[in-house]
């Protein structure tokens, strides 16, 4: 964001307390959001719950002059997938209140004027209410996810969630979304999932319900990506328990993609110079250097998803059968049942590797991979960060969702944005080698894939405009928010 020249737009009297759910993805999105306001003179304090900001993110805060406030002590067992339990996270509410109180009573400190609380942290609404300041929700996912999230208390009231297994294929109407399969809603509301058993009530009453009381919403998306959903959100009269008949109009600010700054820098560079570049380095990049343009399918399921050994074995056979080049990332944590008596990768892969395929068993730099000219497709779990990153780099997708918002993201990518080919699941969610091969060929080698590639290219041009132009939709959202804060405080 270029520094505003217009003094009118400066907001030196705004002090934003940003409270992310303490997981890397959420921390990153919240910091990227905060950075958008710094050029306007806004003061930002970031709650570092359980002191778990990674060194690189801490460094960003230090260099950008974002104050970091450590809250709480990391619990001994941070929970499945190393994600802190919601109950543990709620325990820092008192400390957060103390922090806000300290700012209000200090003589040389600026009182907190608004709280930007993570979509999962409903209790940040209580803190805002206590001090009479507005809470804005930061939705780390897209507008369509927010639409489903805000409708969840209504669906619970109608008994549509929790979804019983036989109802999974039935459709439900959610304002802002096309008719939606009930089975594609969050695992938190699927009666068959263990997650639902322990988390359903918390999800609906302590995350979704308080989100309805917020003054407004930041969305990790840009207007041109989901225009009809965002328009609908803006006009829909959501109600909440305390609204007493009136349906307040709320504001929605699409300010994404809130991805790692390097993606945005590359977009800016391309706008300025019409070129992109990749640093040489790791072996997987050197291997990519030797592959033809747009020929490699990059396969990576993000940081949390894990697959059975049998499924990874089948996937590998499918990649081989597709006759497409591939870069397959399978880290130890990507494997769910490492004990099963089956080799992870087929025997044939030994000879195969480094010729038409490369298997990487460690984390890759996804920016480097997606920016490499040899990469022509991305088989993804539809995590929202990976999706946005792929759009920024103009890489078309193969969609294979597993959990959380991924099923709804898959529907959006395949049916609405038309930037992905779907990998279809068979019985019990298993994907056969034939299906992997079919989907890979369709995207990479057949005419059907051309339309998908063209749509991603168009979307990439839109994101460039939204992010890089001075009157782009992202900058407008940022300034509209600041203008709204000014009016509400008058």
Q: What is the largest CA-CA distance in the chain?
A: 70
Which of 45, 208, 66, 61 has its CA nearest to residue 114? 45
Which residue, 381 or 433, is less far from ligand UDP as judged by CB?
381
Which residue, 83 or 110, is less far from ligand UDP as judged by CB?
83
Supply 413's token pair: 């990518």
Query: Is the separation of the CB atoms in 300 and 377 below 8 Å?
Result: no
Which residue, 260 or 433, is less far from ligand UDP as judged by CB?
260
Which residue, 125 or 220, is less far from ligand UDP as judged by CB?
220
Query: Is the separation of the CB atoms in 115 and 19 below 8 Å?
Result: yes
Measure the CA angle with vertex 236, ends 230 and 240; round to 5°: 120
Residue number of the CB closest to ligand UDP reads: 383
Distance CA(464)–CA(270), nearest Å, equals 9
Element spanning 117, H or E: strand 114-118
Query: Which SS3 state, helix, strand or coil, does residue 279 take?
Result: coil
The distance from CA 253 to its chain's CA centroid, rounded to whole angstroms, is 16
The distance from CA 233 to its chain's CA centroid, rounded to whole angstroms, is 19
Distance CA(42)–CA(51), nearest Å, equals 24
Query: Is the separation of the CB atoms in 136 and 18 below 8 Å?
Result: no
Min dist CB 329 to ligand UDP, Å, is 5
Give contact residues for ligand UDP (rule: CB under 6 A): 25, 300, 302-305, 329, 363-366, 383-386, 389
Contacts of 489 (CB under 8 A, 6+ apart): 113
Q: Which residue has the tokens 């990576």?
A: 300
24-37 vs 384-393: helix crossing angle, rounded to 10: 50
Give the helix ranges, DSSP H, for 274-405. 283-289, 309-322, 349-352, 366-371, 384-393
Q: Which residue has the tokens 């209000």?
A: 104
Which of 164, 162, 165, 168 has its CA nearest to residue 201? 162
Phi/psi of residue 33, nearest 5 degrees: -65, -50
């Amino acid at each position: 964001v270029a520094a505003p020249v217009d003094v009118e737009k400066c907001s030196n009297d705004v002090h934003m307390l940003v409270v992310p759910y303490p997981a890397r993805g959420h921390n990153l999105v919240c910091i990227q959001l905060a950075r958008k306001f710094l050029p306007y003179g806004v003061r930002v304090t970031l709650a570092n719950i359980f002191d778990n900001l990674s060194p690189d993110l801490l460094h960003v805060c230090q260099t950008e002059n974002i104050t970091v406030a450590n809250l709480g002590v990391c619990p001994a067992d941070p929970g499945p997938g190393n994600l802190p339990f919601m109950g543990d996270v709620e325990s820092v509410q008192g400390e957060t209140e103390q922090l806000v109180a300290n700012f209000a009573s200090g003589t040389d400190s600026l009182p907190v004027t608004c709280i930007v609380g993570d979509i999962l942290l409903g209790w940040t609404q209580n803190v805002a209410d206590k001090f009479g300041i507005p809470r804005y929700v930061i939705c780390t996912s897209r507008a369509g996810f927010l639409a489903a999230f805000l409708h969840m208390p209504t669906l619970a009231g109608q008994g549509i969630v929790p979804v019983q297994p036989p109802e999974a294929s039935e459709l439900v109407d959610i304002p802002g979304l096309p008719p939606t399969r009930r089975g594609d809603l969050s695992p938190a509301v699927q009666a068959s999932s263990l997650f639902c058993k322990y988390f359903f009530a918390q999800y609906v009453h302590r995350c979704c319900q308080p989100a309805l009381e917020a003054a407004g919403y930041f969305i990790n998306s840009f207007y041109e990506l989901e225009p009809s959903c965002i328009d609908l959100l803006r006009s829909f009269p959501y109600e909440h328990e305390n609204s007493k008949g009136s349906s307040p109009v709320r504001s929605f600010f699409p300010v994404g993609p809130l991805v790692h700054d390097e993606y945005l820098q590359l977009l800016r560079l391309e706008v300025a110079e019409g070129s992109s570049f990749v640093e040489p380095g790791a072996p997987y990049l050197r291997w990519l250097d030797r592959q033809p343009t747009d020929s490699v399918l990059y396969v990576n399921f993000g940081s949390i998803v894990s697959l059975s050994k049998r499924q990874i074995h089948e996937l590998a056979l499918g990649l081989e059968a597709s006759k497409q080049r591939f870069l397959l990332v399978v880290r130890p944590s990507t494997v769910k049942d490492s004990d099963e008596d089956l080799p992870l990768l087929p025997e044939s892969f030994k000879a195969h590797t480094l010729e038409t395929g490369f298997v990487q068993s460690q984390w890759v730099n996804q920016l480097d991979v997606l920016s490499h000219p040899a990469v022509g497709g991305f088989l993804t779990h539809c995590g929202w960060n990976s999706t946005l990153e792929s759009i920024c780099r103009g890489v078309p997708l193969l969609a294979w969702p597993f959990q959380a918002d991924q099923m709804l993201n898959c529907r959006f990518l395949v049916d609405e944005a038309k930037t992905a080919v779907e990998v279809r699941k068979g019985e019990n969610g298993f994907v056969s080698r034939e299906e992997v091969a079919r989907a890979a060929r369709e995207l990479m080698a057949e005419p059907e894939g051309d339309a998908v590639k063209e749509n991603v290219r168009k979307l990439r041009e839109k994101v460039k405009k939204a992010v890089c132009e001075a009157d782009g939709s992202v900058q407008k959202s940022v300034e509209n928010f600041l203008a709204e804060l000014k009016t509400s405080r008058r």
